[in-house]
Structure formats: structure tokens, C-alpha cells
């Protein structure tokens, strides 16, 4: 269910990028300017390309999340695409009309709520232990095994020493 909004929004951005470019211009303009000044970035995408990239990320991430393919990664991709989308598209603090301001504020906080859901999905291990727990558990198991092997080696050495002296 969470993914449906992203698939639809991404399709909309891919089909009609010009509408999204106008809304995103305050953010994408800054990104393009920063990319142009940075020599380490090999390309300088314009506003339309950034909107298309974001739209594609939302469609692919949404489909992956909806179908259960790499759910944690897709949730992170969607969260990453939602932040600039929300900041660019729902700048309620700049609205002067009370009705538009209230409308943008609702959409802004709806997106913040979706971001929370995505972050929960990104850390959800579906009941399986996470990587950190598994790593810590493996270290503990390795320590116990090493301690056991050390005791066994000492016992074998004592037996060998007794058999040599006897």
C-alpha cells in the first residue's frame, strides 16, 4: 500500500515532467548549480533530468517494495527520493494564500508520515535477526569455540606430557 503512491507519482513525473520541473525548480536549480561548481561530478543534470531520475527511482523503488524485492533497499531509495520531492513540492511556508498554505501543509506532513513508514520498512528484518545482531552473535560463538579449543588443546598437551614421562 505504501508503494502505490510512489509508483503513481513516479509515473506522473515520467509522463509529464514539465509540471514537476516547475514545482521542483527551487531545489533542482540549487542542485544543478552545485553540480556545475563541483568538478568531481562528471555530469551536470538539468532540472528535467533530475525530475526524470527521481520519477524513475520512485517507480522502480515502489514496484520493488510492492513486490517484496529488496524491501529494505527499496524503502531507502524511496525515502531518499521523498525528501527532495517533499521539500520542492510542498513549500507551505512560502504560500501567502491561507487555503493553499493549508493544502501544502497537509501534503507536506503526509509525506513526512510516509517517510516514517519507509524508515520503519527500511529497518524491518521480517522477524529475522539483523546484520548487527548476527555479527555480534558470530563473534560470541567464535570466542566460545576458541575457548573450548584452547581448553581441549591444553588437556591433550597434558595427556601427551604424561604419556611421554611415563
Q: Which residues touch 50 (CB under 8 Å, ≥6 apart)?
A: 24, 28, 31, 32
- Number of domains making up the chain: 2
Both 106 and 166 in one domain: the answer is no
60: containing domain? 2-124
Both 10 and 45 in one domain: the answer is yes
Both 112 and 143 in one domain: the answer is no
Give 140-156 pLDDT, tens digit per residue. 999 999 999 999 999 99
Query: Does residue 89 come out as left (phi exceeding 0), alpha (psi in the -120 to 50 range) or beta?
Result: alpha
Both 84 and 17 in one domain: the answer is yes
Both 120 and 146 in one domain: the answer is no
Q: With CA atoms as reference, report the closest residue to 53 among 6, 13, 26.
A: 13
Q: Which residues of 14-53 are buried (b: 16+ CB within 10 A; e: fewer)?
A: beebeebbebbeebbeebbeebeeeeeeeeeeebeebbbe
Phi, psi of 67 (to 5 degrees): -95, 0
Which residue is listed with cell 567464535? 142
Give 15-34 pLDDT, tens digit per residue. 999 888 888 887 777 666 66
Q: Which residues of 145-165 are buried (b: 16+ CB within 10 A; e: fewer)?
A: eeeeeeeeeeeeeeeeeeeee
Whether residue 114 has pLDDT greater than 90: yes
Both 111 and 152 in one domain: the answer is no
Per-residue model confidence (pLDDT) at position 105: 94
Both 138 and 83 in one domain: the answer is no
Both 54 and 78 in one domain: the answer is yes
Both 7 and 86 in one domain: the answer is yes
Both 133 and 84 in one domain: the answer is no
Both 144 and 81 in one domain: the answer is no
Amino acid at each position: 500500500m505504501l508503494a502505490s503512491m510512489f509508483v503513481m507519482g513516479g509515473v506522473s513525473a515520467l509522463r509529464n515532467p514539465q509540471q514537476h520541473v516547475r514545482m521542483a525548480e527551487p531545489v533542482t536549480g540549487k542542485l544543478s548549480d552545485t553540480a556545475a561548481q563541483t568538478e568531481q561530478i562528471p555530469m551536470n543534470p538539468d532540472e528535467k533530468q533530475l525530475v526524470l531520475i527521481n520519477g524513475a527511482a520512485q517507480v522502480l523503488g515502489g514496484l520493488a517494495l510492492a513486490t517484496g524485492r529488496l524491501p529494505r533497499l527499496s524503502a531507502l531509495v524511496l525515502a531518499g527520493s521523498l525528501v527532495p520531492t517533499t521539500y520542492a513540492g510542498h513549500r507551505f511556508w512560502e504560500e501567502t494564500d491561507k487555503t493553499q498554505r493549508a493544502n501544502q501543509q497537509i501534503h507536506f506532513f503526509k509525506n513526512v508520515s510516509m517517510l516514517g513508514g519507509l524508515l520503519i520498512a527500511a529497518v524491518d528484518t521480517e522477524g529475522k535477526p539483523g546484520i548487527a545482531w548476527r555479527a555480534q552473535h558470530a563473534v560470541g560463538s567464535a570466542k566460545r569455540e576458541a575457548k573450548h579449543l584452547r581448553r581441549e588443546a591444553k588437556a591433550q598437551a597434558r595427556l601427551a606430557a604424561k604419556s611421554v614421562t611415563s
